[in-house]
A and B are shown apart, each in its own frame.
Chain A
Amino acid sequence: MEQKKEKAALGRRDFLKVATVGAAVGVISVASKDVNAGDVTPTNKDQAGYRETNHIAKYYELANI
């Protein structure tokens, strides 16, 4: 039972790895650099209005190490 679960998890991981990991090289570092540059505030508060939630900014900050 336990073994079967393990196998399924591996299948999913392999699938996602093939589909995303190579293609997404650079995506995370790009985003993190940008956040660290402090460039996330929209120019007009009443307009674009949508900022990153704090947890995202924190994630990128950590991922940049």
Chain B
Amino acid sequence: MAETLVATCSLEEEQRARAGIYGLLARLLGAHPSEDALKEIANYPGDDTPIGSALGALATAAQETNYDDAQDEYNALFIGVVEGELIPFASHYLTGFLNDLPLASVRSDLNRLGVERSKDIKEPEDHIAFLFDVMVGLITHEFGDSIDEAEEQAFFEKHITPWAENFFNDLIKAKNAKLYAPVGLLALRFLDVETKGFRIAP
């Protein structure tokens, strides 16, 4: 515990910010927001940077919805009666099938990193929210101090880059998306920053 605490406190401010954005996106994409989450998201100040203005748009959308509508929207987008409007899994986007080779590839890397999904989670690990969760764990060194930026970059480029932009472009255009349109916008702008950032890395 003490060790983890030190590791967390020693995070650089941009690592905290990146982990925060990945974490926020993972939460919103993994389940519909709670009442408290909606209230607090509605208070995001936003600013005129690409990410800040997307957060501002998300705050406005959060002000215009409520818990029940957000839950209905989440279900229509990602759950559905048979299936949702969108299918947020790497396998689906890359091969047209669920549980295909891209999932096997994610699992193989998780195995190597010594990470497994929490027992509460039933969905396969190539869900976009799970992949963003993994990025948080890599950035915060929750999976071990030996994990460096090269590992973050490798995971991002292998499992997120090949399909996430297509998925979030579908999300911002989805007919059910109101709160989730700015979620998609935030994700697209953040993926752009991450992609460029990794290119600068040594």
Smallest CB gap from A7: residue in B: B202
In the complex, what residues of B have CB within 8 A of residue A11's CB? 200
Q: With A20-B51, A50-B122, A62-B8 given, can you name 6 additional A-B contacts, CB distance below 8 Å?
A: A23-B55, A24-B21, A24-B51, A27-B44, A48-B75, A59-B19
**Among B20, B31, B43, contact of A31 (Cβ-Cβ < 8 Å):** B20
Name B51's closest neighbour in chain A (CB-CB). Answer: A23
Q: Once the chains bind, are A13 and B31 in contact (CB under 8 Å)? A: no
Complex contacts, B31 vs chain A, CB 8 Å: 40, 42, 48-51
Interface residues of A in 12-59 (CB under 8 A from B): 12-13, 15-28, 30-31, 33-34, 37, 39-40, 42-43, 47-56, 58-59
Q: Which residues of A contact B (CB under 8 A)?
A: 4-5, 8-9, 11-13, 15-28, 30-31, 33-34, 37, 39-40, 42-43, 47-56, 58-60, 62-63, 65
Compute the total of residue contacts between A and B using a CB distance below 8 Å. Answer: 173
Q: Which has the most chain B C-beta neighbours within 10 Å: A23, A34, A39, A40? A: A23
**A25 to B46 Cα, complex, angstroms:** 9
* Interfacial chain B residues near A51, Cβ < 8 Å: 30-31, 118, 120-121
One of B99-107, B134-142, B154-162, B177-185 contacting the partner = B134-142
Known: A9-B201, A55-B143. A20 touches B75 (CB 8 A): no
Chain B residues contacting A16 (CB-CB under 8 Å) are 14, 17-18, 193, 197
Decide if the interface of chain B is mainly helix, strand, loop or mixed: helix
Is there contact, CB below 8 Å, between A55 and B133? Answer: yes
**Inter-chain contact A24/B20, CB cutoff 8 Å:** yes
CA distance A7 to B18 in the complex (A): 21
Q: Interface 1/0s, chain B 46-80, versus A by CB < 8 A?
A: 11011110010000000000000001001100010
Tell whether B98 is near chain A: CB-to-CB under 8 Å.
Answer: no
Please list 29 pairs of residues, one from A and one from B, whose beta carbons are closer than 8 Å in the complex, sorted by A's number: A5-B202, A15-B197, A16-B14, A19-B50, A20-B18, A23-B46, A23-B47, A23-B49, A24-B20, A24-B51, A27-B17, A30-B37, A31-B27, A31-B37, A34-B37, A37-B34, A39-B35, A42-B31, A47-B79, A48-B32, A48-B79, A49-B121, A49-B122, A50-B31, A50-B129, A51-B120, A56-B133, A59-B142, A62-B8
